[in-house]
Amino acid sequence: MELILASRNQKKIREMETILATHFPGVRILSLDDVGFEGDIEENGTTYEENALIKARTAVEAGKHQYPAIADDRIAAIADDSGLSVDALDGAPGVYSARYAGGHGDDAANNALLLRNLSHLPVSERTARFVCCIALVYPDGREMTVRGETEGLIIDEARGNGGFGYDPYFYYQPFGKTFSELTAEEKNAISHRGKAIAKLADILKK
């Protein structure tokens, strides 16, 4: 099975491929570069679902041009939009998680701003959740979305060397670790993305 993922983030691509492979051995994830899409996709939706659909629709159109001979049911595109929602910040950074501090993908700046905005609160009051919405889009117009969430707390000190984004500060209480301290197997089993991908796999099996 091949799926086009509307991303160039190699960590995200590997993570998605690893989790999906537990459901579909041999699955191959193609990136935007693999299907010849140049430039960026404007994520101007106001919800995770809207942004995921915008990206997946763009990816499937790129796939049509790259693989015009492939039947519609073999060229599905997927896209995920994910972020961190902090209760004390009224759900922020939310859909703006990747550009919370202004620039896109500046993890250090995003985390620094997050900690400043929460500095007046004890860790026990910094409840948050990671949210992942995955959109699946076919060239024939069929579309669907799934969502996964994982609850945690935002701590003051970065812990762990794995993961990316807000992972070093997102503390998952049942395991007593941040997302950056989890093994790949642990994270994939409980993460927001892992939960959403499991739902996606159920849909693809049908």
Provide the edge-to-edge strand list for the sheet that holds 2-5. 28-30, 2-5, 77-86, 127-137, 143-154, 170-172, 177-178
42: left (phi over 0), alpha (psi -120 to 50) or beta: beta
DSSP state of 151: E
Catalytic-role residue among 81, 87, 90, 156: 81
Of 158, 143, 138, the residue nearest 63 (C-alpha): 138
Asked about 81 being catalytic, the answer comes back as: yes
Residue 115: phi and psi, rounded to 5, are -65, -35
Tell me the catalytic residues.
Answer: 81
